[in-house]
A = this chain, B = another copy of it.
Amino acid sequence: MNGSAEYLEIAERALEEVLPAAGSRPAELSDAMRYAVGAGGKRIRPLVCIASAVAAGGRAEDARYPAAAIELLHNYTLIHDDLPAMDNDVERRGQPTVWKKFGEADAILAGDALQALAFSVAAKAPRNAAAVVAALGAAGVGVVEGQVEDVAKGKDAAYVYLHKTADLFVAAAEMGALAAGAAEGHVAALREYARNLGLAFQYEDDLIDGDGAFPPEETARLVESHTAAALAALEGLPGDTGFLSELANRLKGRTK
């Protein structure tokens, strides 16, 4: 996709810069943190973050620290979601989960440290650093609210999707736009894009997995309508929106 190789390299470089060096003290912690973040993944949230800086008229490099921050936060949530007291998953992306490999205590602590590091890194944004941190903080609380509702009896699926999935996309876009010094209206447009992208992404997942909260026909309509809304939100942005529009369009017909 438009710019994706360049954006991916920026994100990977920033992650390597901010993660503790391999074997640094205490090694149990740095090893677990590096294992969790280095274990692959498509880096879709950092790419959205960087592409949002560009779409707002800024430079891709403006968003390097926000991009690393959102990926660190996302990976901490995966570590904690996999814990025995939560989903009790033993494998992720074809590898043992962090708790399975490092033990439960170090998995809890590695997640905790990754969350703290995420905020330290967000604070390095070259513009609007306090607002960048606030955006990440809102997503950090929201994603937990979504997770708690997800395991509650009689859960509200729309609430879960909005918070557990969409909040991180919204923060990614907002942080990238803010770090690029975007105008308020452009930040709002990119938030709207990302909320719809996140929801389309979630409903598409439901279609692929065949286990959604709504019947397949309704779910397919939701993918269409949120994709259309995401694309519409990109109109009028001053920078290159090629990556973001391709990303929304590729969601349709995606297979795992």
Contacts and interface: CB of A to CB of B under 8 A. Distances in A.
Contact of A137 (B111, B120, B130, B149): B120
A168 to B, nearest CB: 12
Interface residues of A, number: 48
Interface in A37-93: 76-77, 80, 83, 85-86
Please classify the interface of chain A as helix (H, G, I), strand (E, B), loop, or mixed, using the class held by over half of its residues: helix
Contacts of A183: none
A223 B138 CA distance: 41
Nearest to A155: B26
Interface of A: 25-26, 28-29, 76-77, 80, 83, 85-86, 103-106, 108-109, 111-113, 115-117, 119-125, 129-131, 133-134, 136-141, 144-145, 147-149, 151-152, 159
8 contacts: A26-B148, A29-B144, A113-B145, A117-B141, A120-B141, A124-B134, A129-B129, A130-B133
